[in-house]
A and B are shown apart, each in its own frame.
Chain A
Amino acid sequence: MNKEKAVPPLVEMQGITKAFAGVTANREIDFDVLSGEVHALLGENGAGKSTLMNILYGLYRPDAGHIFIKGTPYTFMSPKDAIAAGIGMVHQHFMLVPSQTVWENMILGLEDLPYILPRNEIREKIRNISSQYGLEVDPDAKIWQLSIGEQQRVAILQMLFRKAKVLILDEPTAVLTPQESLNLFKTIQQMTAEGHGIVFISHKLDEVLSLSDRITVLRKGEKTGTVQTSHTSKEELAEFMMGRKIAFTINKRSQAPGESVLKAEKISILNDRGITAVRNLSLSIREREILGLAGIAGNGQHELCEALVGLRPVESGHIIMNNKELENQTPKSFISSGMRYIPADRKGTGLVPNMDIKENSILKKYWKKPVARGLLINWKVVFKQAIDLVKKYSVSTPSVETPVKNLSGGNLQKLMLGRELSDAPKALVAVHPTWGLDVAATHFVRQQILHERDRGTAILLVSEDLEELLSLSDRLAVIFKGEIMGIFDNPGEATPEKIGLMMAGTPLQFLLKEV
């Protein structure tokens, strides 16, 4: 990478600081992008990467700091300004209007267009740019009809259409199959060859190492380092990401699993669109066992989990707990049978943000004694139990009457954990339980899950964090398009390559045959 000092970087950010309602998301961060380079922005979930780039893209305004585009200072009041300055961004949730066509989305917000949209001209232009970058799309397709990979192509084209010089990609491979990811990488290479600057936001070390020219690591809102990819190593990056070399070893005693507690027998489940998301799936989880479930988001995990806790009906098959067929019954029956759920979206499904801690703590047991006293709720008991819970699970809060919406992500999760685990459940479905938490909270939550397992609970652990799955699971399953590709009875045998292939659709038995 020989860049003369005289050429100013495409983008230079200096001293960027941004806080939201008391939480500092970015603290005095410097960041720059050179022409023709892929600059990866690495960090755990919640480190501040998206915030920083949203500032560059004009969606947020920084509390302090400066932005220079090719040496000239700029202030972006909205994405309009950023786009005009040549900055483009492809978000994790694509900024596309599902009900409209590709060509309509492509020109959304553009001003130097005639009042009456020249459809054919636009379609032509799309086809040209499309073939220039090898991103094939059908201009007349409606967005909701396209696959995720195709939608991403549209989102990228959207930015190229606007002559973006710098392209920010926010966790682009999170929703792609390995093959689609490869295509994306090819596209990125082509773009850098044409002089674009790419910012690649990710929390996946391997990708970042193979793809980028430079890497900047963020941790809890601060920059911990910027390195040349060729000069760094996984260990160094991990240290930048995690902090001091703390050996947070998980104390995992091996347990002999007991009887089967939760069984799914050949269940098929539809998603919200009416399409089959889970197909004839069977699995069984035993007492004192954690079954990990790996898979790319969107392959049926969400529907499976909801069905297992009674929030979604099954089209066929059985869900059996304690010898009772529970499928299609009310969520309350599942709860009464001892099933607990830690969902992925904490503030959405799990908690009521406007209510306080004590009111949230009884969500799963408000009809049972001693909380319930006949038709009434015994708030004195609730208050006391809430205090105990908050202490036991180290939830940091001024009081149990603080509205839950004021709690930080980590404390929210601990509260939810406390609530779900507080009355000795028989089974637990935990989805991304440590997503977005800091190191200490993550460790705490994992310990609690293990503790629960030791106590006898059967646990289904769904996570995108492979390291978490490998270290916590007793058995590891991989799901693809609603079917189990295979289960490792010994997670030690599960190499990232094997898992990756299974996540992309190769059943385990085929992999074993090759050995």
Chain B
Amino acid sequence: MEILIPILTAAVRSGTPILYATLGEIVTEKAGILNLGLEGIMLVGAYTGFAVTYHLGSPWLGVVMAFVVGALLSLIHAFISITMKGNQVVSGLALTMFGTGASSLLGRSYIGFTIEGLNKIPLPGLSQIPIIGPVLFNNDALIYGSFILVFFLYWFFLRTRNGLNLRAVGDNPQAADAMGISVDKTRYLYTLIGGGIVAVGGAYMSIAYTKMWAELMTAGRGWIAVALVIFAIWNPMRAALGAYLFGGVEAFQLRLQAAGTSIPTPLLMMLPYILTIVVLFFISVSQGKGILFGAPSSLGQPFFREERD
């Protein structure tokens, strides 16, 4: 039981950047836009957060600027996908490349620097609760932010006017359009917001997780997030479950390594990816008939109004 707490704690910490990225992508995909550029956005977010924190001394400004930069990057993808009706898969890949290269280029002079970053803030009383106390309530502000974000998004999608319109745009853009909702504007808005949230996930890595900058530091987390969106069936709560699960696997694997097990690291590193395929398989099979239930029906398809065959 005692080993459980450090693993769970590490799972939460390790899973948080993935969670932010997944939540951001859920927002984008709910509007019907597929953004595969998460890895690139996260890296640029990590760099921005780090650089701003380093120069201005405020991690909060770092997070905010990361959000802004993430949104701006997503604007490129949005423009290509929405206004130019381009291929979203390729555009997302281009964004990943661009973001990865740009972050390396921009961050080249920051290698080795460290920052104060964000520290843990134990919540009084709550952090004393056995087991979940130290795991959940002895974390830094961004992690608390992610908890809030999960619940906020869940409530937002279900109970608010804007959330309803967003879902309609993703599920049946023709209907939304006919009811006077601007499909394009909605998609732009949420692609930007989603991209910003993804970037915050990257910023978490450099401001809170490692408090350093390193090239390619997200190590594929952006791609895991893409997969997790499907695992979560576009539901923010399940996204949290998935993110912590993967964070846990990574933490578990590090612990095993430290304990000197004979399971080679590379094999352990494969676990999250194998797990994703297995989960995806079960989801797809159980939905049957090739209809991915819960998916926004218009995902990845450009919207045309004056379309006559």
Direct contact between the two chains A and B in their complex (CB within 8 A):
yes
Give bound CA distance, A409 to B308, whole Å. 11
B280-297: CB near A (< 8 Å → 1, else 0) gives 000000000100000001
Say yes or no for A60: interface residue by CB 8 A criterion. Answer: yes
How far is B186's CA from A109's CA once the two chains are assembled, in angstroms?
11
Partner of A114 from the list B161, B165, B297, B308 (CB cut-off 8 Å) is B161
The segment from B32-40, B146-154, B177-185, B259-267 found at the interface with A is: B177-185
Closest to A409 in B: B309
A117 interfacial contact with B, CB 8 Å: yes
A97 near B168 with CB under 8 A, answer: yes
Are A158 and B171 in contact, with the CB atoms below 8 A?
no
CB of B171 within 8 A of CB of A115, answer: no
A75-109 contact mask (Cβ, 8 Å, vs B): 1 or 0:
00011111110000101011111111000110111
Contacts A97-B171, A108-B165, A114-B161 known; A79 to B180 CB distance under 8 Å?
Answer: yes
Q: How far is the CA of A357 from the CA of B178 in the complex (A)?
A: 35
- List chain B residues, Cβ under 8 A from A347: 309
Question: In the complex the two chains form, what is the Cα distance from A84 to B289 in whole Å?
Answer: 41
Cross-chain contact of A116 among B159, B180, B305 (Cβ < 8 A): B159
For A60, list chain B residues within 8 Å (CB): 305-306
Q: For residue A78, which residue of chain B has the nearest CB? A: B180
Number of A-B contacts (CB under 8 A): 91
Q: Are A109 and B160 touching (Cβ within 8 A)? A: no
CA distance A59 to B167 in the complex (A): 21
B127 within 8 A of A: no
Contact with A along B235-252 (1 / 0, CB 8 A): 000000000000000000
CA distance A421 to B161 in the complex (A): 54
Instruction: Write the nearest CB–CB distance from A435 to chain B, whole angstroms.
Output: 12
Find A98's partner among B159, B172, B305 (CB 8 Å cutoff): B172
Residue B164 lies at the interface, judged by CB distance under 8 Å to chain A? yes
Closest to B296 in A: A99
A272 to B159, CA, bound (A): 32
CB distance from B147 to the nearest CB of A (A): 21
User: At the interface, yes or no: A256 with Cβ under 8 Å from chain B?
Assistant: no
Give the distance in Å from the alpha carbon of A104 to the alpha carbon of B171 in the complex. Answer: 13
CA distance A279 to B159 in the complex (A): 43
- A93 vs B297: C-alpha distance when bound (angstroms): 16
A116, chain B: closest CB distance, angstroms: 6
Chain B contacts of A58 at CB under 8 A? 180
Q: How distant is the Cα of A57 from the Cα of B174 in the complex, in angstroms?
A: 13
Q: Which of B162, B172, B289, B309 contacts A97 (CB 8 A)?
A: B172
- Is B126 at the interface (CB under 8 A from chain A)? no
Cβ-based interface call for A248 (8 A): no
Residues of the B chain whose Cβ atoms lie less than 8 Å from the Cβ of A83:
179-180
Residues of B within 8 A of A94 (CB): 175
Contact at A59–B177, with CB atoms within 8 Å?
yes
Q: Which residues of A contact B168 (CB under 8 A)?
A: 97, 100, 104, 108-109
How close is A46's CB to chain B, nearest CB, in angstroms?
11
Known: A91-B178, A97-B175, A116-B160. A272 touches B289 (CB 8 A): yes
A79 near B160 with CB under 8 A, answer no
State the Cβ distance, A223 to closest chain B Cβ, in Å: 20
Instruction: Tell me how many residues of B have a C-beta within 8 Å of chain A.
Output: 25
CB distance from B307 to the nearest CB of A (A): 9
B175, closest chain A residue (CB):
A95
CB distance from B55 to the nearest CB of A (A): 37
Closest Cβ of chain B: how far from A306's Cβ, in Å?
15
**Quick one: which of B180, B289, B297 contacts A109, CB cutoff 8 A?**
B180
Nearest CB on B from A81, distance (A): 8
Task: Give complex CA distance A79, B180 in Å.
Answer: 5
Instruction: Give the residue among B165, B168, B177, B179 with the most A Cβ atoms within 10 A.
Output: B179
A99 contacts which of B160, B171, B305, B306 (Cβ < 8 Å)?
Answer: B171
**Segment 272-326 of A: residues with Cβ below 8 Å from B:** 272, 274
Contacts of A93 in B (CB 8 A): 174
Name the residue of chain A whose CB is nearest to the CB of B181: A109
Contact residues, A5-46 vs B (CB, 8 A): 20-21, 23, 25
Tell me the nearest residue of chain B to A58, going by C-beta: B180
Task: Tell me how far the C-beta of A108 lies from the nearest C-beta in chain B, rounded to whole angstroms.
Answer: 4
Task: Kindly name the residue among A20, A91, A99, A409 whose own CB sees the greatest number of chain B CB atoms within 10 A.
Answer: A99
- The answer to whether B179 touches A158 (Cβ under 8 A) is yes
Q: Which residues of chain A have C-beta atoms less than 8 A from B171's C-beta?
A: 97-100
Check A113 for interface membership: any CB of B closer than 8 A: yes
Q: In the docked arrangement, what's the CA distance between A89 and B297, Å?
A: 23
Given A97-B172, A100-B171, the answer on whether A78 and B164 have CB atoms closer than 8 Å is no
Q: How close is B300's CB to chain A, nearest CB, in angstroms?
A: 17
Q: Is the CB of B162 within 8 A of A115?
A: yes
Find the A residue at minimum CB distance from B295: A99
Question: Are B175 and A108 closer than 8 Å at their CB atoms?
Answer: yes
- Within the complex, what minimum Cβ distance (angstroms) separates B229 from chain A? 17
Does B102 make an interface contact (CB < 8 A)?
no
**A68–B216 alpha-carbon span in the complex (Å):** 60
Question: Which residues of chain A are near B180, meaning CB under 8 Å?
Answer: 58, 78-84, 109
Q: Does B80 contact A (CB under 8 A)?
A: no
> Which of chain A's residues has its CB closest to B161's CB?
A113
How distant is the Cα of A113 from the Cα of B159 in the complex, in angstroms?
12
Enumerate chain A residues within 8 angstroms of B178, measured Cβ to Cβ: 57, 59, 79, 89, 91, 95
Q: Is B174 a contact of A95 with CB atoms below 8 Å?
A: yes
Determine how close the nearest CB of chain A comes to the CB of B296; give it in whole angstroms: 9
In angstroms, Cα B160 to Cα A158, docked, is 19
* Interchain CB contact under 8 A, B167 and A95: no
Please pick, from A21, A104, A111, the residue contacting B164 in the complex, using a CB distance under 8 A: A104
In the complex, which residues of chain B have a beta carbon less than 8 angstroms from the beta carbon of A80?
180-182
Q: For chain B, residues 64 to 90, give those with C-beta under 8 angstroms from any C-beta of chain A.
A: none
Are A108 and B176 interface neighbours, CB within 8 A?
yes
What chain A residues lie within 8 Å of B167 (beta carbons)?
A: 97, 100
Structural contact, B179 and A95, CB atoms closer than 8 A: yes
Q: How far is the CA of A115 from the CA of B159 in the complex (A)?
A: 9
| A117–B309 touching, CB < 8 Å | no
A480 CA to B231 CA in the complex, in Å? 42
**How far, in Å, is A165 (CB) from chain B's closest CB?**
16
Q: In the complex, what's the smallest C-beta–C-beta distance from A387 to chain B, in angstroms?
A: 26
**B160:A115 contact, CB within 8 angstroms:** yes
Chain A residues near B179 (CB-CB < 8 A): 79, 83, 95, 108-109, 158
Min CB distance A88 to B, Å, is 10
13 example contacts (A-B, Cβ-Cβ < 8 A) are as follows A20-B308, A60-B306, A81-B180, A82-B180, A91-B178, A95-B177, A95-B179, A96-B172, A104-B164, A104-B168, A108-B168, A108-B176, A113-B161
The 7 closest A-B pairs by CB, nearest first: A80-B180, A109-B179, A95-B178, A95-B175, A20-B308, A97-B172, A109-B181
**Other CB < 8 Å A-B pairs besides A100-B171, A105-B175, 6 of them?**
A79-B177, A80-B181, A95-B175, A100-B167, A108-B175, A117-B160
B contacts, CB < 8 Å to A = 159-162, 164-165, 167-168, 171-172, 174-182, 289, 297, 305-306, 308-309
